[in-house]
């Protein structure tokens, strides 16, 4: 067994797993959503972790505020408010004050680069939006009509913040819901100020939730699937991932209550997360809400409010790209949303090095090439040992062929003769495997770095490659990749088994087809790695063939 067959076997096994996973996803039922008639998601139900009871019934929609309301709004309920900053363009429905549409202005749609990427939307194809409200008897929730002062808000030059104020009033309370948008940020601060209009104290709770269908993002590759689902983080339990299917089937397992942490819905390259204030008691929840939708969010206490008094609670909503530098400063553990899995200890430093190289060369494709060269250089001693072992095996190939001709189908005698030959030549037939096995975790970690880094999304390389996160449109890189695999198979010793020999000839073609669907950045990495391996292997094999004295026949 040589390292080429080992690598081919590993890549083949991984590819089969990815294909199986894609097959399962492809046959999952597609949500049949009609958002125009969609009933709102239910407010959070009772909580055993929060001291005061939270009613399970959704409060009835409040009446339109009367003339005694403090401000005189000019925007009636049942309309949409448009909001625009340098990073975000949002639509807020005055029914419940929901964010029903959110565009990320610094990122573009892959299918049409002239349009900004849409994260939140309510359309026949995809449903994903944000809700928040209060629980308690006759308190405004996400079904309550709110009023606003304006129909449109635009962050002006020189302004750092922009505040959108919504108001609702019931017999129990007067509520001011405030959205604060900030220049250069994907974070939206959402707060509730509740004024008690009753004659006795009460203790309301606020909930902040995300509602989404179970569909994978449209640009997520079925050949290279990535995780879409809910994530919860607490200091005690660290990161917990819960798939949409587990939520729909009532099988979700996650920490319910904590004094820290966040909850998010994650998809390839992007996420939306509710970030409660540090040290505040919180309760996380997930539940199906009908029509193939799930809700995930957090409940926060507003505190006891005396008659005539007021209290405020708030949470931050991050809705944007999975940029690790931006995430790690927002909340502890939020950078873990970039899911490198069990190889994170290797992936994080590799991504850091990749960023430093990009800062120097200014091109992510060139940065991938330089990083691959550096990794190859770091593993040169191991690779050299492996290739020397393979070179010796190739020199030994004619003798192995003669043994095969001598013993024919007598496998036992053939095996014994091969062992004697290896002892005579002082060759370990497995000597080429261990160095490659040591390197595999590093290369797999780099694979996930290149697959998950939003920085590579729509990043150009050269000429025909305009997006390193998308497949090569002309298939030039996959074809070159297949050619390098043919060259590698030619440099390796021919397997004595005819079936293995035929398989080695077929594999380059098969993997070229697989790589047609892989992101160009990943194919570029494998191509450069193969070219370096071929160069190193040819140099070592050529040196050994020249220096090795001829031996008599076995």
Q: Could you say which residues of the chain have pLDDT below 50? A: 1-10, 12-73, 550-554
* pLDDT for the residue numbered 122: 93
* Residues 313-361: tens digit of each pLDDT: 999 999 999 999 999 999 999 999 998 888 899 999 999 999 999 999 9
Residue 35 lies in a domain: no
* Residues 16 and 143 grouped into a single domain: no
Q: Are strands 152-154 and 80-84 parallel, antiparallel or unpaired?
A: parallel
* Residues 381 and 469 grouped into a single domain: yes
* Residues 458-477: tens digit of each pLDDT: 999 988 999 998 888 898 99
* pLDDT for the residue numbered 219: 66
Please list the residues that pair with 287 across neighbouring strands.
295
Please list the residues that pair with 242 across neighbouring strands.
230
Q: How many domains does the chain have?
A: 2
Residues 325/238, Cβ–Cβ less than 8 Å = no
* pLDDT for the residue numbered 33: 33
Residue 232 lies in a domain: no
Residue 259 lies in a domain: no
* Residues 428 and 294 grouped into a single domain: no
* Residues 154 and 300 grouped into a single domain: yes
* Residues 354 and 295 grouped into a single domain: no
Residue 38 lies in a domain: no
Tell me if the pTM is above 0.85.
no
* Residues 411 and 508 grouped into a single domain: yes
Residue 222 lies in a domain: no
* pLDDT for the residue numbered 497: 60
Kindly give the interhelix angle for 3-26 and 498-515, rounded to the nearest 10 degrees.
50
Domain that holds residue 78: 73-217+275-321
* Residues 165 and 302 grouped into a single domain: yes
CATH number at residue 195: 2.70.98.90
* Residues 454 and 527 grouped into a single domain: yes
Kindly give the interhelix angle for 380-407 and 3-26, rounded to the nearest 10 degrees.
100
* Residues 522 and 408 grouped into a single domain: yes
What span, in angstroms and rounded, lies between the C-alpha atoms of 162 and 164?
Answer: 7
Domain boundary among 256, 286, 321: 321
* Residues 185 and 306 grouped into a single domain: yes
Sheet containing strand 187-196, strands side by side = 147-148, 161-169, 173-182, 187-196, 310-321, 270-275, 262-267, 229-234, 238-243
Residue 56 lies in a domain: no
Domain boundary among 304, 321, 338: 321
Residue 60 lies in a domain: no
* Residues 306 and 440 grouped into a single domain: no
* Residues 307 and 447 grouped into a single domain: no
**DSSP structure string for 301-352:** E---B-TT-EEEEEEEEEEEE--HHHHHTTSTTGGGGS--GGGHHHHHHHHH
* pLDDT for the residue numbered 236: 94
Residue 147 lies in a domain: yes
């Amino acid at each position: 067994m040589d390292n080429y067959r080992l690598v081919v076997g590993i890549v083949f096994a991984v590819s089969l797993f990815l294909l199986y996973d894609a097959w399962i996803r492809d046959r999952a039922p597609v949500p049949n959503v009609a958002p125009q008639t969609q009933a709102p998601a239910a407010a959070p139900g009772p909580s055993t972790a929060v001291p005061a009871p939270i009613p399970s019934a959704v409060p009835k929609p409040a009446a339109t505020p009367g003339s005694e309301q403090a401000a005189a709004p000019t925007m009636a309920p049942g309309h949409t408010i448009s909001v625009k900053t340098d990073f975000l363009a949002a639509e807020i429905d005055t029914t419940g004050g929901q964010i029903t549409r959110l565009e990320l202005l610094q990122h573009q749609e892959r299918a049409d680069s002239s349009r900004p990427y849409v994260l939140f939307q309510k359309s026949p194809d995809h449903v994903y939006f944000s809700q928040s409200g209060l629980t308690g008897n006759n308190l405004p929730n996400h079904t309550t009509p709110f009023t606003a002062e304006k129909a449109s808000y635009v962050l002006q030059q020189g302004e750092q913040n922009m505040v959108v104020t919504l108001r609702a009033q019931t017999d129990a309370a007067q509520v001011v819901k405030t959205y604060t948008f900030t220049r250069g940020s994907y974070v939206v601060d959402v707060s509730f100020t509740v004024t008690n209009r009753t004659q006795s104290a009460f203790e309301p709770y606020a909930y902040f939730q995300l509602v989404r269908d179970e569909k994978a993002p449209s640009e997520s590759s079925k050949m290279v699937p990535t995780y879409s689902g809910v994530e919860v983080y607490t200091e005690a339990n660290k990161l917990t991932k819960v798939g949409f299917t587990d939520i729909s089937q009532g099988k979700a397992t996650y920490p319910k209550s904590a004094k820290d942490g966040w909850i998010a819905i994650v998809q390839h390259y992007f996420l939306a997360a509710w970030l409660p204030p540090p040290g505040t008691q919180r309760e996380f929840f997930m539940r199906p809400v009908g029509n193939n939708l799930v809700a995930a969010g957090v409940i926060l206490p507003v505190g006891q409010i005396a008659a005539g008094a007021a209290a405020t609670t708030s949470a931050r909503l991050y809705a944007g790209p999975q940029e690790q530098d931006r995430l790690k400063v927002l909340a502890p553990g939020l950078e873990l949303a970039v899911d490198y899995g069990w190889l994170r200890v290797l992936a994080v430093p590799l991504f850091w090095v990749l960023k430093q190289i990009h800062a120097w060369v200014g091109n992510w494709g060139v940065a991938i090439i330089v990083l691959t060269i550096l990794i190859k250089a770091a593993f040169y001693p191991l690779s050299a040992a492996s290739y020397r072992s393979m070179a010796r095996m190739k020199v030994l190939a004619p003798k192995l062929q003669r043994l095969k001709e001598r013993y024919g189908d007598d496998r036992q005698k053939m095996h014994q003769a091969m062992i004697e030959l290896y002892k005579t030549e002082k060759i370990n037939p497995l000597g080429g495997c261990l160095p490659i096995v040591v390197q595999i975790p590093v290369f797999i970690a780099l694979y996930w770095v290149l697959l998950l880094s939003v920085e590579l999304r729509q990043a150009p390389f050269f000429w025909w490659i305009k997006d390193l996160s998308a497949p090569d449109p002309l298939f030039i890189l996959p074809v070159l990749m297949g050619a390098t695999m043919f060259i590698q198979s030619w440099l390796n010793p021919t397997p004595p088994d005819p079936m293995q020999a035929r398989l080695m000839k077929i594999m380059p073609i098969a993997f070229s087809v697989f790589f047609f669907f892989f992101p160009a950045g990943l194919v570029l990495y494998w191509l450069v790695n193969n070219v370096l391996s071929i160069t190193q292997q040819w140099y070592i094999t050529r040196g050994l063939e020249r220096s090795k004295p001829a031996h008599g026949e076995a």
